[in-house]
Amino acid sequence: MTTRIHPTAIVDPEAELGDGVEVGAYAVIGAGVEIGAGTRIDAGAHVRGPATLGRDNQVCSQACLGFDPQDVKYGGEPTRLVVGDRNRFRELCTIHRGTAAGGGVTTIGDDNLFMAYTHVAHDCRVGSRTVFANAGTLAGHVEVQDDAVVGAFSSVHQFCRVGRHAYIGGYSVITRDPLPYVKTVGMKPACYGINRIGLQRKGFSVETLKALETAYRVLVRGKHSVPKALELLRGLEEQPEVRVMIEFAEGSARGLIRDLPGGGRGGVG
């Protein structure tokens, strides 16, 4: 495959482009950037290094990847952005490198969709097959696990963790950890049950959905403390998805979102 670079594009001599890479008009590829085979950098996009992009990614017009972190403590230390394969970064999306204090690397997995105006800040770790709707925003040091959805105009506070298959509704403000498989929605976010329709579309079995419903009732609606709820869930640990929920809750540093719609508390402690 032939690499194609538009005559108006600027590609630093120290950048490395794989087979079949396309660079559009007025795009800029900086030093220390490695771009895998089949990736397309559209007109006006800008990728700075050090950054590594895998195969078959699409970076749309005016998207900016690998820029310096927006952290006042950043002093020019060498940090990186590492992106996997088959991701789509739509128009005006921004993804920043890590900071030395945060481990030095921002990572993006495979097969993610970042819609227009989305932002991933320094030292974030995004898994695979996630969807970020328009203007979804991560502060620094956020972890978003596989298959999660971040709704339009939603923001996630630094150091939060978003669980696997979690669904964050539009215009939500996330300051604690949203549970895996659960719909979390609102400026004062509340839990609206497991994301049954989304999970069905992804092929989850009836038995798995029933187990997750039971886990949700115990952990969110059961009025138990987290330790007590997890103790009650031990009998369901043979179900892998329930085990994921238990391990996520055990690893929460900022606390879990367990509030109910209307301001009710879904648990204590």
Catalytic residue among 42, 110, 123, 147: 123
Q: So what's the pLDDT on residue 199? A: 97
Distance CA 56, CA 226 (A): 42
Q: So what's the pLDDT on residue 269? A: 47
Q: So what's the pLDDT on residue 235? A: 81
Q: So what's the pLDDT on residue 82? A: 98
Whether residue 56 lies in the annotated active site: no
pLDDT tens-digit profile of 166-215?
999 999 999 999 999 999 999 999 999 999 999 999 999 999 999 999 99
Mean pLDDT along residues 25-42: 98
pTM: 0.94
Q: Which CATH superfamily is domain 199-263 in?
A: Udp N-acetylglucosamine O-acyltransferase, C-terminal domain (1.20.1180.10)
Mean pLDDT along residues 155-167: 98
> For residue 223, is pLDDT > 80?
yes
Q: 4-141 has which CATH code?
A: 2.160.10.10
Q: So what's the pLDDT on residue 58? A: 98
Query: CB-based burial of residue 168 (10 Å sphere; 0-12 exposed, 13-18 middle, 19+ buried)?
Result: buried
Mean pLDDT along residues 146-151: 98
Mean pLDDT along residues 34-46: 98
What are the contacts of 165-172 at 24+ separation with CB within 8 A? Answer: 165/195, 165/198, 165/199, 165/202, 166/195, 167/195, 167/198, 168/136, 170/133
Average pLDDT, the chain: 95
pLDDT tens-digit profile of 236-262?
878 899 999 999 999 999 999 999 998
Whether residue 6 lies in the annotated active site: no
Catalytic residue among 32, 109, 136, 140: 140
**Token pair 């559209």 in the structure block, residue:** 42
Percent of the chain exceeding pLDDT 90 equals: 93
Q: So what's the pLDDT on residue 1? A: 74
Mean pLDDT along residues 159-166: 98
Q: So what's the pLDDT on residue 95? A: 98
Backbone angles phi, psi at 97, to 5 degrees: -70, 170
Write out the residue limits of the CATH 1.20.1180.10 domain(s) in the chain.
199-263
Catalytic residue among 119, 122, 165, 224: 122
> For residue 268, is pLDDT > 60?
no
Write out the residue limits of the CATH 2.160.10.10 domain(s) in the chain.
4-141
The band of 264, judged by pLDDT with boundaries at 50, 70 and 90, is low
Whether residue 12 lies in the annotated active site: no
The CA angle 107-108-109, to the nearest 5 degrees, is 120
